[in-house]
Structure 1
């Protein structure tokens, strides 16, 4: 849809996404986001792959963990 509507090729979109992810990783490593993100506690659900049992684990989130450099 983006390629047709805005005349941007899939390859150009993929290249932009890769560069964006690399920039985010570099910024995280250099601490550029440290003053922008407030750590907070959360409960994470963890599923045991063998038994299927789900348990809770307390974690502190202090950065964007979805970056894919």
Structure 2
């Protein structure tokens, strides 16, 4: 953000406002089904660390959709 501010003269506040607006648009589009054809279930392998035994196990999971917008 600092580099963008210095290089292009876009303040941090304007960047933050744009980021919030972008997140809100994405959330609204997902709620309205705009991305239904693009957001599809995906299989992944999840690692699970057991703190007591110090062992790591792996589970196959299916992620149906993005759980939420993530701020940086």
TM-score, L = length of structure 1: 0.73
Q: How many residues align?
A: 68
Considering Cα pairs closer than 8 Å and 6+ residues apart, tell me whether 1 or 2 has the greater RCO.
Answer: 1
Structure 1 residues 54 and 29: alpha-carbon distance in aligned structure 2, compared to 1, 3 A threshold: farther
User: Pairwise CA RMSD of aligned residues?
Assistant: 2.1
Segments of structure 2 that go 5 or more residues without pairing to the other structure are none
Segments of structure 1 that go 5 or more residues without pairing to the other structure are none
TM-score, L = length of structure 2: 0.71
